[in-house]
Chain A
Amino acid sequence: MTSPDSVPTAESVPPPREGVRELAVLLAAALLAALVLYALFHGKVTRFEDLGLGAETSAVFAQLDGDPIHCHDMTDVAACLAGFERRGAGAAALWLGNSQLHGVNQYALGQETASARLAARLRPVGIDLLTLSQPNANLVEHLVLYAYVRDRLPLRLVLLPAVFDDVRDTGVRATVASALADEATRGFLAGSDVGRAVLATNRSTADPDLAALDQTVQERSEAFLNAWMERHVELWDLRPEVRGTLGVWTRSLRNSLFGITPHSKRRRIEGSYAKNLEAAEALLADAHTRGVRVIFYVAPLRGDVELPYVESEYARFKQDVRGLAERHGAAYLDLDQVVPAELFGMTAGRTLGAALEVDFMHFQAGGHAILADQLAGALDGVGGGERS
């Protein structure tokens, strides 16, 4: 063999005492890191999904006879489906949406969301309404959840809101992407370009934190070690909280630095926009083929302040939604001005140190009642048996 002299060194070796000092620094740094994390996050539990709701808006998920009829996503959809089975209804309706459906401003006990109200009005005609809503849900996510539910429910009706804010994104959150583990869901999605793109860019692993280990031997050891750490090391269990908080801080810092407020214009992102409409089209086309009625509606927005959109882009959005609905035999509703401005709330400031800001999306129970009435009215017109 050649001489060790020819070995290249990564760094010149420091004198021995320097090694002790460097290890001491690492040890002190590790202790400092643990102390800071513990001091800042010990016992803290934040519902990050509800942060966008604002200070005076509550998340309300309706139940019926102890079973949920309004769920979030794949984390609790099984409970909604089980409730449907227990009630034994012959037909189902599915309402997909964003936090507008579960956010109630100035909520008081006994008040109802639009989904609870509409469910009560559909029940006498034998239709059981289930709702799935997630904050900022986009149409691609709706397509994934629809794909999961369509063979599990005798669907007669789908309510699909179109929200301009939400079509700026096409990401599928992990709690929705876990539907991709289901073979029927994958099969349905494989039938469209947008579905294939979803399958190509999202992993179907049950635990998104172990996504890179899917179907490897290491997946099992990692799951075991993770579970052990979660049980025995409190700091480990705090990690999602820290990640979420860092995300919120980063966003606030960005908003402060660049002066981004709820009034800032959100322009259309062409690629995301196209993909979202493609997802809606895949959903509408399938529903039409299966004889499922769809109401594709432009969601209510606060009307007393200038919209945070470019007017021409928003107008085209509504046209495109209408065009899609008409092409696939769905009913189109423009509900963006049906809820009076005074029923909308305020949201927590999203810049550093900001006070409350205008909320464009969430309204009081009165607004929910109006939304439910509008949709119920449209059902009369859509045809036939759902007259309430």
Chain B
Amino acid sequence: MIFNSLTFLVFLVVVLALYWVLPRRPRIWLLFLSGLVFYGFWRVEYLAILLASAITDYLAALAIAGSANVARRRLYLGASLVVNFGLLFYFKYLLFFAENATGLLRFLGFDVAEPHFSVVLPLGISFYTFQTVSYTVDVYRGFIRPERSFPLYAAYVVYFPQLVAGPILRARELLHQLAERPPARLEDFAIGLRRILSGLFLKVVIADNLAPLVDAGFAQPIATLSALDVWTLAFLFGFQIYFDFSGYSHIALGCARVMGIHLPENFQFPYLATSPREFWRRWHISLSSWIRDYLYLPLMGAQVRDESVGGLATAADAPSERRRTAALFATWGIMGLWHGANWTFALWGIYHACLVYGHRVLAPRFSRLPAAASGLLGWAVTLPLAMLSWIPFRAETLEVALAMWAKLLVPTQYLALGMRENTYLVTALVLLGVIGAWCVREWGIPSLRRTRVLWPVVETAGWAVVIALVFVFLRPINQFIYFQF
């Protein structure tokens, strides 16, 4: 089910009404079944895969917890990983690897036929796979005990607000909140509603209206784009994907909040980050922390400690610099491919690894700068570099991405403009809007809040505009971009 639709609004009202009246056991069943209905409204046939993944980890976790034998525990964990990543590989990567293997064999002179099959990617498989895997790994690591109630465990896996595009939640963040309903509080309800409205605004009013400009720009032949066009498209798509995905996350957090359930933040003004490292503490936080805990730290050989708050564990030991760097690049390559079976995503990941590594190496040289200057310089460098990463992320092929990047290195490519005038105008306006929104949040609202009359008037008028625009633009014309991952 897509959030920006009437169907979802009706579904949410019905689920909420039942959630707040049902006693514990039927309420847990409600959460479980509502997740299945939510998912089934997209494609019923893929419910079986979702359930297969969930059941595998339910059984694996119980088996791991029930065994004192280290080898057996490893075997159960291995079985879970094979099933989960096997499904993910089959649906997401098989065709990609088959095509690449065919290409390689042909390059080596073998006469191999093109692979002729197609697989439809089950919605949200990357998200729920990571979620279920984290559950089993946490049980294996001894951080949590396995959940014995299948409906409760399954409700955690298929919890509809975050099922298809995150935030990717750890069991310790959600299970106990699903098990015991929090007391009903108007404050939660108000915050939840505001977040749902904000998310819908970001998605249907901003992201969906940026989409045609982005699509038109990326559909142009590369030869007709200048370096300024590439920069513009990088920024514009950067804004589109940010509003699209953060909009989704707002709605997800809002839906949970109206149930009294608190989910961790997934975005914190990422385009105001002052370093690549900080960018990843502000962008898709649940994924970057998952990757850190379940991939980067193990690859680095660091022991993970359960001091997690908001999903960030810490490394107990400091590994060698070389191993740390190798783990960084390997992690980012995998993180790139997590987004999609295309070398463009791998390039995107490696590019970000370069940024993080570059920052790690260069940052100490600027440590004597005053904090304000360092922050400003960091932002001025980080923003365009982060935006450039969206070129391979959005480009159809590696060749297109590299050709677009190559334009940036040619000085004469900065002398022309090749797109509709509106594209530049809108990009500039949105950039100013993002900075303006941050300023309003940091300084405008706090000072307005101190006024007795003006604040309620401004607040009401502001929300009236948001509600009117959401009402007018609410149409499922575009999927959320992250649905495809």
Residues of chain A whose beta carbon lies under 8 Å from any beta carbon of chain B = 1-2, 4, 6-11, 13-16, 18-20, 22-23, 25-26, 28-30, 32-33, 36-37, 168-171, 197, 201, 208-213, 216-218, 221-222, 225-226, 229, 235, 239, 242-243, 246, 254, 258, 269-275
Measured CA separation A264–B92 after assembly (Å):
50
User: Which chain B residues numbered 165 to 199 have a C-beta less than 8 Å away from chain A?
Assistant: 171-173, 175-177, 179, 185-191, 193-195, 197
Q: Which of A20, A201, A216, A269 contacts B219 (CB 8 A)?
A: A201
Q: Are A243 and B472 neighbours in the complex by a CB distance under 8 Å?
A: yes
Shortest Cβ gap from B405 to chain A (Å):
18
User: How many A-B contacts are there with CB distance less than 8 Å?
Assistant: 190
Query: What is the CA–CA distance of A213 and B123 in the complex, to the nearest angstrom?
Result: 13
Is B309 a contact of A6 with CB atoms below 8 Å? Answer: yes
Residue of A nearest to B478 (CB): A212
A211-B5 in contact (CB<8A): no
In the complex the two chains form, is A19's CB within 8 Å of B187's CB? yes
* Assembled-state Cα–Cα distance A270/B221 (Å): 9
Closest to B197 in A: A26
Question: Do B215 and A201 have beta carbons less than 8 Å apart?
Answer: yes
A29 touches B187 (CB 8 A): no
The answer, among B2, B10, B185, B265, for a CB contact under 8 Å with A16, is B185
Contact between B463 and A170, CB atoms less than 8 A apart: no
DSSP majority for the A interface?
helix
What are the residues of chain B within 8 A of A9 when measuring CB–CB? 262
Considering the complex, give the chain B residue whose CB is closest to the CB of A209.
B475
Identity of the chain A residue whose Cβ is nearest the Cβ of B254 in the assembled complex = A10
CB nearest neighbor in B for A168? B420
B77 contacts A by Cβ under 8 Å: no
Contacts of A197 in B (CB 8 A): 219
- Cα of A212 to Cα of B4 in the assembled complex, Å: 10
Contact A22:B190 (CB < 8 A) given known A2-B172, A8-B264, A197-B219:
yes
17 CB contacts below 8 A, A to B, read: A2-B143, A4-B176, A10-B265, A18-B187, A19-B185, A23-B190, A26-B194, A26-B467, A33-B467, A36-B464, A37-B471, A170-B216, A211-B476, A211-B477, A217-B44, A225-B6, A270-B220
Chain B interface, DSSP helix/strand/loop, else mixed: helix
Measured between C-beta atoms, what is the minimum distance from B450 to chain A in Å? 15
Measured in the bound complex, the distance between the Cα atoms of B176 and A342 in whole Å is 79
Residue of B whose beta carbon sits closest to that of A218:
B41
B477 touches A1 (CB 8 A): no
A274–B224 Cα gap in the complex (Å)? 9
Query: B7, B145, B189, B212 — which one has the most chain A CB atoms within 10 A of its CB?
Result: B7
Flag if B471 contacts A274 (CB, 8 Å). no
CB atoms of A1 and B176 under 8 A apart:
yes
Query: Do the beta carbons of A271 and B225 come within 8 Å of each other?
Result: yes
By CB atoms of chain A within 10 A, which of B40, B175, B476 has the most?
Answer: B476
Tell me how far the C-beta of B27 lies from the nearest C-beta in chain A, rounded to whole angstroms. 17
Which residues of A lie under 8 Å from residue B197 when comparing CB positions?
26
Those of B255-291 within 8 Å (CB) of chain A: 257, 262-265
Give Cα A110 to B224, complex, Å.
Answer: 47
| In the complex, B473 has a CB within 8 A of chain A | yes
Query: In the bound complex, what is the Cα–Cα distance between A201 and B311 (angstroms)?
Result: 38
Cα A258 to Cα B459 with chains together (Å): 31
Interfacial chain A residues near B262, Cβ < 8 Å: 7-10
Contact between A1 and B144, CB atoms less than 8 A apart:
yes
List 10 tightest A-B contacts by C-beta distance, closest first.
Answer: A271-B220, A19-B187, A29-B463, A19-B186, A270-B224, A22-B190, A271-B224, A33-B468, A8-B310, A32-B464
Whole-angstrom distance between the Cβ of B26 and the nearest chain A Cβ: 21
A221 to B216, CA, bound (A): 31
Q: Give the distance in Å from the alpha carbon of A273 to the alpha carbon of B420 in the complex.
A: 11
CB distance from A320 to the nearest CB of B (A): 14
Q: Does A30 lie within 8 Å of B219, measured CB to CB?
A: no
Closest to B416 in A: A270
Of the candidates B2, B5, B173, B263, the one having the most CB atoms from chain A within 10 angstroms of its own CB is B5
Give the chain A neighbours of B189 by CB distance below 8 A: 19, 23
Q: Is B100 an interface residue (CB 8 A)?
A: no
Note all chain A residues with C-beta closer than 8 A to B1: 218
B369 on interface, CB distance cutoff 8 Å: no
Question: Which B residues are CB-close (under 8 A) to A211?
Answer: 476-478
B360-401 interface code vs A (CB 8 A; 1 in, 0 out): 000000000000000000000000000000000000000000
